[in-house]
A and B are shown apart, each in its own frame.
Chain A
Amino acid sequence: DQQVKQNSPSLSVQEGRISILNCDYTNSMFDYFLWYKKYPAEGPTFLISISSIKDKNEDGRFTVFLNKSAKHLSLHIVPSQPGDSAVYFCAASAFRAARQLTFGSGTQLTVLP
């Protein structure tokens, strides 16, 4: 049972445009959400997070939106740059679940110059 789903395995976007990566979850106990970026042959790098008490968190070009009623979150990257090309993982955590992270399967973002 996949509790965190990233339904788009890949996304291509033109440089300078907005990239929107989506993530859905099924476990209503999740109360903290994170996005990680992963380049080949490297470990995932933490990007941005959001607590369930918020619906938006912004950090530079990256904004994460959380819609609790829809159990959906999204990562917006504006403007997209070629260096953003990587696999993006959505992850979720529940306080009562000992803080382990449950990851989605990832979305490969390609930013075209």
Chain B
Amino acid sequence: EAGVTQSPTHLIKTRGQQATLRCSPISGHTSVYWYQQALGLGLQFLLWYDEGEERNRGNFPPRFSGRQFPNYSSELNVNALELEDSALYLCASSLAPGGTPYEQYFGPGTRLTVT
């Protein structure tokens, strides 16, 4: 069974540009989560999508946005890039959330560098 995939592996942008990161969840998973891991820091929750809807977002400005497509894949967009947006962006997927917790399974990440 294929795991969570992310593209591109690396992305280099200049300040002020927009970045688009993509994620394909594990087959059968409907929830997709985005996390940011800046250098030396832990994983910070960005966004959660389920069944095409944004269910929750972390403490990030509105220039971080995304969407989930009917096939459950997801896109993260970062507008007006700033130097501090340089980080590893991780996508995770899980089965539909319900009364029982479901573990999240992570992709390899996209390394975004803003110059």
Contacts and interface: CB of A to CB of B under 8 A. Distances in A.
Interface residues of B, number: 27
A1 to B, nearest CB: 11
Interface size class of A (residues with CB under 8 A): 20 to 34
Interface in B1-51: 4, 6, 33, 35, 41-45, 48
Interface stretch (B60-68, B70-78, B79-87, B99-107): B99-107
B43 A103 contact: yes
Contact of B103 (A6, A46, A95): A46
A32 B108 contact: no
A70 interface: no
B105 A101 contact: no
Nearest to A44: B106
A100 B90 contact: no
A100 B45 contact: yes
Interface of A: 6, 31-32, 34, 36, 41-46, 49, 51, 89, 91, 93, 95, 98-106
Can you list the 8 inter-chain pairs with the closest CB atoms, starting with the nearest?
A43-B106, A105-B42, A32-B101, A103-B43, A98-B56, A103-B42, A99-B97, A44-B106
